[in-house]
Structure 1
């Protein structure tokens, strides 16, 4: 293994049946029978998802812009990063991320990079998420976005990166995108090349190709 490049590879096992027992407005549930290595068949149920984007916005004081909102499945109000769905087919993820930063925090950024791409829970959903790093922050022009539903109670804060790292290790923060982004940024800042080693905001994203 030492002489091989460590990377994920595309692969698809044989499927003999696919059904969609539930389809909601955005996500659904798919059931498939998949052939196992021993020749048998196993049922797999998973959530289908259009994909997501998120933004770690870092200001010139090394503070991260975070938002807090209620998440009903876990019955908690969680601190998170601005994020949203890729529910427009073929939408450029950078454009979607810029929109979410404006809508949730009334903020814009002069510099964008890809911080990390990941599958949010690959054992149970096909959701892929692209997490951007946004710097050179400023207030957005014009009126604030008119929030609806649960977004009416969104709170915002700016927290030093080092304090977020401490809170994560203390078990005080639980949102996976916030945790992933915070630790990835800390690693980028302390690693070789710094932020210049990160990818362009238009870097290819095989999990969710875009035009």
Structure 2
């Protein structure tokens, strides 16, 4: 039997879309949302015309990547919360899953272009807020069990992660990935509740990250 042409066309369209999203995720995580669309098409193995048929402009592509990735991180965060009896272990697992989480932070806090595109989008904001709820739960639980220092908040952790991403430069992707893992490890050690240098001011909360609330 010959495959239905319309079914094949839909399958090709889905495959092209998935390839474009995968390529855009990888490139956005490494370089931000300002990368030329031609570079994304080349990495996805599709023509520029195909890319623009799936995503008519950069805004549409950035939003699609953000929605897909935020949903994945939220699913992972909730799964970790359900599996881990220790909130500290849950927080550590979430932070070490750096590939998906790095892109969320890249789009939500680091990339100015992405911030402009995503600002005010109710669905993106809903997913972002739900991720922060899980992060807040991890923080409060880890502090209650005495494993996370008491003078930090979820906002401090998000800002530390964003600062790490802003500084991440390396000669190769392999070195960048290794450096990211090492820096996350150092960051986790710095968050642990052993005696350390007192921090100035007050803990930065997830609400402090939202400029619209000021």
TM-score normalised to the size of structure 2?
0.27
More helix by share: 2
